[in-house]
């Protein structure tokens, strides 16, 4: 069923790196929800695989001493959704990954695999962009950390150097403290469909809940990689919470997004979605943050 040359099972991160150095053409496999499908389609015929599925050290969500939320790259979507740290501090991420595929996929699929695929439609990606996530990579030269926006290079390509593996995704305390967020996925079907567009917004309000101190918005499937909309963010920051500001904010996203027509949707429909989802996601984020819209 699966045309593979060899399968090597790593017992540790260090061993996984050694195996990748010994077999430079090998592909990392974790849950296999993407790689095995591609192999069945013949896209990776004759591949060598290095399995990291047994590395429990890369599973779980922890709160580090400085308040950074650390999500091990092998943490499954279903575990992220149910994790108490995620639910308390960045529940929107749990909601976003709960929209990935069906229950079987969410039980086996990992956040590391979802981001390392480099596809713009990944439901976790836009939310991680909105949270200014940091990607931790471990390789022969040690550990390096880069922003998720720099991790994505182009469609299907991420900044993984030879023999490197992604070991964690980090959300710094300054990126989530005081924020509330909301993610909306628009797809042609409600279940088990790739997003036509995904929009994630988070917002921090003033103590009296009347001023937008900071707002961040990110999209999936609005370009070849997930992307932020800085013009809209700049427009919304420092403004009084109101319907007019939310309308202006949502329209401003078109200054940064360059929609195109594809078999999934026309350029015009994508632009309509981008504006409408921005409006709805910011509205809900404000409500979650305790604000009232005048």
Q: Which fold has domain 56-174?
A: 3.30.465
Over the stretch 63-119, which tens digit does the pLDDT of each residue have? 999 999 999 999 999 999 999 999 999 999 999 998 877 777 787 889 998 899 888
Kindly report the number of other CB atoms within 10 A of residue 102's CB atom: 9
The H or E element containing residue 143 is strand 142-147
Identical fold at 4-51 and 56-174?
A: no
Q: Rounded to 5, what percent of the chain is helix, strand, coil?
A: 35, 25, 35
What CATH number should be reported for the domain whose range is 179-288? 3.30.390.50
Each domain of the chain, given as residue ranges in start order, spans 4-51, 56-174, 179-288
Four-way CATH pick for 4-51: 3.30.43.10, 3.90.550.60, 3.40.50.880, 3.40.50.10090: 3.30.43.10
Over the stretch 148-164, which tens digit does the pLDDT of each residue have? 999 999 988 999 999 99
Helical packing angle, 243-252 and 267-288, nearest 10°? 140
Q: What is the pLDDT of residue 234?
A: 97
């Amino acid at each position: 069923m699966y045309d593979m040359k060899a399968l090597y099972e790593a017992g540790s991160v260090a061993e996984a790196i050694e195996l990748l150095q010994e077999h430079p053409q090998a592909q990392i496999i974790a849950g296999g929800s993407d790689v095995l499908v591609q192999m069945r389609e013949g896209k990776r015929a004759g591949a060598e695989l290095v399995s990291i599925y047994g590395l429990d050290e890369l599973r779980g969500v922890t709160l580090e001493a400085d308040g950074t939320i650390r999500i091990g790259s092998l943490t499954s979507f279903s575990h992220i959704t149910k994790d108490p740290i995620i639910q308390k501090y960045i529940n929107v991420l749990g909601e976003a990954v709960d929209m990935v595929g069906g229950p079987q996929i969410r039980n086996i699929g990992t956040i590391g695999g979802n981001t390392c695929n480099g596809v713009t439609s990944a439901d976790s990606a836009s939310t991680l962009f909105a949270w200014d996530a940091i990607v931790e990579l471990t390789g022969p030269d040690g550990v390096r950390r880069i922003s998720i926006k720099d991790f994505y290079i182009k469609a299907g390509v991420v900044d993984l150097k030879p023999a490197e593996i992604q070991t964690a995704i980090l959300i710094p305390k300054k990126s989530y403290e005081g924020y509330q967020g909301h993610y909306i996925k628009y797809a042609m079907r409600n279940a088990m469909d790739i997003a036509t567009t995904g929009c994630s917004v988070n917002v921090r309000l003033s103590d009296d809940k009347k001023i937008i101190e900071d707002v961040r918005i990110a999209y999936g499937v609005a370009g070849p990689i997930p992307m932020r909309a800085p013009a809209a963010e700049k427009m919304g920051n420092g403004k009084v919470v109101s319907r007019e500001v939310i309308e202006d904010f949502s329209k401003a996203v078109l200054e940064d997004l360059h929609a195109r027509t594809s078999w999934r949707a026309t350029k015009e429909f994508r632009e309509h979605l981008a504006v409408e989802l921005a409006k709805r996601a910011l509205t809900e984020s404000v409500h979650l943050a305790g604000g009232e819209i005048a």
